[in-house]
Amino acid sequence: MPNEFHRRRLIASRFSVPRPVLFLDRDGVLIEDKHYLSKPEEVEVCPCAKTLLENACQENWPVILITNQSGIARGYFSWQDYELVTDRMLEILGPEAPLAGIYANGHGPDSVPNSWRKPGPGMLLAAATDLNLDLSHSLLIGDRLSDLKAGIRAGVPWLAHVLTGHGVKERKIVE
């Protein structure tokens, strides 16, 4: 069912057998967090992110991008702006660092329960269904605790909390 607050871009075809996957958050993990990024010319890939994608590809690990984009619900930018930023990100990453899919939601912090907004597992579960993924052997890397909670709720056993983006600030809250 189409949803005005959900976007998915499937780049890979559905796998014939269940596959583990590397889930990455977008802002603060794959690209620099620019706080409601809406301009393609401001896209900057995080240090080592392209190498991470290239290594995952060489090891035959599909990579799925999952991202909360509350700026859409807040009226700061549109889905069209989001798509232009996504296209620029993919252009910068190039074909050596492919993604299998991109899942985004435009819900705000007051979204309904069971929406795709992290910390809910909706985007991960949708990707698992769409692409035939084995979540029980997958890995998620995020800079926010909501990323990690989404992974836990989806049954992803390996989680990494990076110190880029919001990672340093959120790590201090937990310590």
Domain count, the chain: 1
- Mean pLDDT for the chain? 91
How does pLDDT run across 19-57, given as a tens digit for each residue?
999 999 999 999 999 989 999 999 999 988 999 999 999
CA distance 65 to 76: 22
In a domain, 1, yes or no: no
In angstroms, the Cα distances linking 174 to 28, 71, 119, 167, 171 are 18, 26, 16, 11, 5
**CATH no. for residue 97?**
3.40.50.1000
25 is catalytic: yes
Give the per-residue pLDDT at 115.
84
87 is catalytic: no
In a domain, 150, yes or no: yes
CA distance 8 to 1: 12
In a domain, 143, yes or no: yes
